[in-house]
Structure 1
Amino acid sequence: MTVGSGPLLALAAVWLLSRAGMLLLLYRDSLGIGRVASEVYGLYQHWYGQFAHGTFPSGDVAWQYPPGAGLVIMSPGIVPSLTYFQGFVLLTLLADLVVVAALAYADSARLTHGAWYWTLGLPLLLHIPLARYDVQTTALAVLALLAFTARSPVAHRFGGVLAGIGAMVKVWPALALLGTPRGRTTREAWTAAAVTAVTLLAMLSMLFADSLGFLRQQGSRGVQIESLGGTALALAKALGGWPGTVRFRYGAFEYVGPYVSTIGHLSLLLTALAFIWLLLWRLRAGRWTEATPLDAAFAAVLLFTVTSRVISPQYLIWLLGLAAVCLTSRRTVMRPAALLILPAAALSSLAYPVVYLDVVAGTWQGVAVMVLRNGLLLAAAVLAVRRLWTSTVTS
């Protein structure tokens, strides 16, 4: 059974109207402290100039991304007759459109609602998605997961290639491989991903200097104010029990003071435990459905998000995309968790840029927004891992 042209036309109209509104916000860029767009015309364009000289951003504390991210940063250069900023936004919208089209195609065959979820969910982040390269990264993960739901070995290998590219762009798309069915599908997908990632890394290392410099900056990051650990410190500070301060470091506002190092190490420990839990799930899972690769990827990214030392607003782009993919399958068990991501996304854009000054200052308004946002993410993560386990692991 397929969907007629009416719903598709309605989806296209809503996509056009909502993206026009996001473009208008980007043009004005005046909410809260504003300057959302400066990430592109300031930082990204600066890095673009360094790539033109044959090197990754050497010694730049803000460069914390795998080498493949350089391809996205350089991509606006291929768009003729546009400025760097205009080219970046155009390519981001095209990636967004690819996601919508892929989800709509899956929806039309299964009468589900993934495309609507993405179309209506992304604008909850206001204009942030248009000024970050996370839409492009999410598109790679979405397409990889949809390829894994096909029955063709060629599609599985193609999904592996996309996951490998995504891993070299921002690491987390590699989690799309977690739930591939055991046997031939896993061998083909994982081999394709590994070969693609290694080939891409080798190519970029030959063409540009200091391709692995990002590892130095990534390891030095502290506890960002929007993380769960940061929210705990903000609550302690608001209650008068913690004397720490906020400082701008490594491209973000982080907490500095007593116990910050402990919170950071605890976050890393929880991330390691999340990885162990996912390995245990992979070993114990005995019931696979078409939705299992989708559900596993969504649950895994949720786990690594809530245990991270950094939870930037653009992280919600990943979760919206993965939740939308889950909703293209009638057999998904992630609907309750996916619904929690929507208010979490709205609260993320409220935290930044609307009341970001309050979040930085640690006022009760800023703390309340972060407690609600992170509480929703934590609840979604708990729901996701519980439902993934109970739906796939036999007694």
Structure 2
Amino acid sequence: MSSALLKKYTFVFIGLFFCFEVVITIRNFSVQLGDLQVYFNLSKRIIVDHLLPYRDFPSEYPPLAVIPTLIPQLLCQIGTTGFQGFVVFFVLQNILLGLYMGRVVLKTAQAFLEEVRALEISRIYWMLWGISLPIFLFRYDGFVALLTILTVYFIVKQSPGVSGSWLAAGIFAKLYPIVLLPPIIVYYFINKQYRFLLLFLGGFSALSAVIFTVMYLLAGNDVVIFLKYHRLRGIQIESFVGGGLLLWYKIIDAPLETISNYGAIHLVTSWTDSLLKVLSWGFPICYLALSGVIYRYFSKQIGVSVEMLLIAFAAALLLFLVCNKVLSPQYLIWLLPIIPFLRSQILYCFAAAFMITIFIYPGSYHRLVEMKFLWVLLLNVRNGLIFVMLLLTLFSMPFSTKNSTLI
């Protein structure tokens, strides 16, 4: 099959899938309302009731997570449109975020790649963004993904202080970008850009200190209460481990209990406590091992390029997804601005994983909760694709000495 014909079939398939997305988004819109109601209530307490999270009421979200909910709430109050208006404004805001993120992806690619390749990356982003819309439009994770690619953009533009500030903002919005910090430090260190490293750490530390100080003055010791919520969560039904447990219990035909809390469905088994302990120390150990692999990978190169840094980013994020006790559908959005820069095999796996995710949620999530075998199998195929992506990312790290275009 020729390349042109393959592209034609790909576009036709994506178009048909987009039509499917429109149908299931409208038909199953009610499944989105839970998180949107949480966003609405959180922002209403701040804007309308003049209350502060942590000090006046507990919140499971990091400090900057409220930012994407405030503008829709303000517009909602101006127009007195209530929850329905909030949903409309939130969706419109996420559309603008996605469009702007696409522009940043293109500008980042143009800064260190040839124009043809940069335009190809841009097209890939728009394709993946279209696939992600049934989830992207209704969650605030796109905001954090934008902060992540801005971190990369300002690394490319050799503005390390600004880059560090964007990374700090991302961490205080969702926490997960913290796994990107060690690869960036190693990137600057191996490239012997010690002044840039100090500027990056300075920007990162300065904004972190400002945010934490302001929140501490406003909320006191309760400012870190959001960390408690994550520690209390169990094994989510959609996580890598959760999917494996679901499949095992279906194979042996044994009953499996679930509990709904913290906005998700968690599994209750005799193995839960033991597995949670394994995951609690398993990820740090795996991440330390990955950091060693990244350091060795970078140190073998004659100049570490931004492309290599993006490979390290993807590996860190994918490891986090595989080893985490929680793997909500919106977590795939974290990879959205990174995947277009990677090899085609990873791209195909990511697109397939996102499509399966949407088929499950918002497609027929109740069938997964009911533990229907087909949906349990689909979940494990999705999780298997994420694991394959991690392996492909690791295999993308050539350990032989290689010249690279240093940015």
- Scaled to the shorter chain, the TM-score interval is 0.7 to 0.9
Structure 2 SS opposite 1:314: helix
Taking a change above 3 Å as real, the CA distance of residues 220 and 391 of structure 1, as seen in their structure-2 partners, is farther
Inter-CA distance 76–204: structure 2 relative to 1 (3 Å threshold): farther
Q: Distance in 2 between matches of 1:124 and 1:391?
A: 36
Q: List aligned pairs for 1:44-123, cutoff 5 A.
A: 44-52=39-47, 53-56=50-53, 63-79=59-75, 81=79, 83-108=85-110, 110=114, 111-112=116-117, 113-123=120-130
Mean CA deviation greater in 216-225 or 256-265: 256-265
2:322 to 262, 281, 306: 306
Question: Which letter maps to 1:101?
Answer: R
What percentage of aligned pairs have identical amino acids? Answer: 22
Residue 382 of structure 1 is matched in structure 2 by 391
Over aligned residue pairs, what C-alpha RMSD do you find?
2.9
Q: 2:179 aligns with which of 161, 175, 199?
A: 175
Work out whether residues 169 and 208 of structure 2, in 8 Å CA contact, stay in contact via their aligned partners in 1: yes
Aligned length: 364
Partner in structure 2 of residue 165 of structure 1: 169
C-alpha displacement at 1:136, in angstroms? 0.6
- CA-CA distance at 1:126 after TM superposition: 4.1
Q: SS at the partner of 2:354? A: helix
Q: Is the 8 A contact 1:126 1:349 kept in 2?
A: no
Q: Identify which of 126, 143, 146 aligns with 1:139.
A: 146
| Secondary structure in structure 1 of the residue aligned to 2:267 | strand
Alpha-carbon distance change, 58 to 370 in structure 1, aligned in 2, over 3 angstroms: farther
Given candidates 190, 194, 197, the residue that maps to 2:208 is 197
Q: Matched residues in 2 for 1:46 and 1:391: separation? A: 53
What is the alpha-carbon distance in structure 2 between the residues aligned to residue 74 and residue 139 of structure 1?
A: 17
Report what 1:344 is aligned to: 353
Q: Which of 27, 31, 47 lines up with 1:30 in the alignment? A: 27
- Would the alpha carbon gap of residues 35 and 73 (structure 1) be closer, same or farther in structure 2, given more than 3 Å must change? same
Q: Which residue of 2 aligns with 1:188?
A: 199
In 2, the alpha carbon distance for the partners of 1:338 and 1:274 equals 24
* CA distance in structure 2 between the partners assigned to 1:392 and 1:196 by the alignment: 37
- Structure 2: runs of 5 or more not aligned: 1-14
In structure 2, the partner of 1:39 is 35
* Offset, 1:255: 0.3
User: Please, which runs of 5 or more residues in structure 1 have no aligned partner?
Assistant: 1-16, 328-333
Matched residues in 2 for 1:58 and 1:255: separation? 32
Secondary structure, counterpart of 2:32 in structure 1: coil
Supply the AA of the counterpart residue of 2:105. Answer: L
Q: What is the alpha-carbon distance in structure 2 between the residues aligned to residue 29 and residue 388 of structure 1?
A: 42
TM-score scaled by length of structure 1: 0.83
CA separation of 1:71 and 1:208: change in aligned 2, threshold 3 A: farther
2:305 is paired with a residue whose SS is coil
**C-alpha distance in structure 2 between counterparts of 1:128 and 1:134, whole Å:** 9
Shift of 1:107: 4.2
2:264 corresponds to 1:252: yes
Q: In the aligned structure 1, how far is the partner of 2:148 from the partner of 2:64?
A: 14
Q: CA deviation at 1:367?
A: 0.9
Change (3 A) 1:260 1:23: closer
Contact kept? 1:51, 1:208, Cα under 8 Å: no
Q: Note if contact 2:167-2:177 (Cα within 8 Å) is conserved in structure 1.
A: yes
The answer to whether the Cα contact below 8 Å between 2:235 and 2:266 also exists between their aligned partners in 1 is yes
TM-score (norm 2): 0.81
3-state SS of 1:253 partner: strand
When residues 21 and 147 of structure 1 are mapped into structure 2, their CA distance, relative to the original with a 3 A threshold, is farther
